[in-house]
Amino acid sequence: MSLAALSAPATAQSGAASWYGSGRKTANGERFNPNGMTAAHRSLPFGTRVRVENKRNGRSVVVRINDRGPFVHGRIIDLAKGSARALGMGGTTYVSLKVVN
């Protein structure tokens, strides 16, 4: 894999997702809404819309990236609690991501 491929934001990924429900402000300065359809990603630009599919049950949602994370090795996205609930997630689960905008 080239160095450019490692540093460029991915348009499609799959891996472990988690959820978070606390926080005051997101990395882009918005007030955190635990029931929102938002998520944290390490490299995608703020405002990017991403379709997240729960590979265990086939449910999917479109979220907007407004925060940075996850900060746990092996995870690719942190979903606001509302997004995770819509996907039918309890803890962590295997998901696929695809940029939709």
Least Cα distance to 46 among 27, 22, 33 occurs for 27
Q: Is the pLDDT of residue 74 over 80?
A: yes
Average pLDDT over residues 71-88: 95
- Phi first, then psi: give them for residue 82, nearest 5 degrees: -60, -40
Whether 10 has a pLDDT exceeding 80, the answer reads no
Per cent of the chain over pLDDT 70 is 90
Tens digit of each residue's pLDDT (9 = 90 or more) over 80-95: 999 999 999 988 999 9
Residue 6 pLDDT level (bands cut at 50, 70, 90)? very low
pTM for the structure as a whole = 0.86
Q: For 25-67, give the secondary structure using H, E and C.
A: ECCCCCECCCCCCEEECCCCCCCCEEEEEECCCCCEEEEEEEE
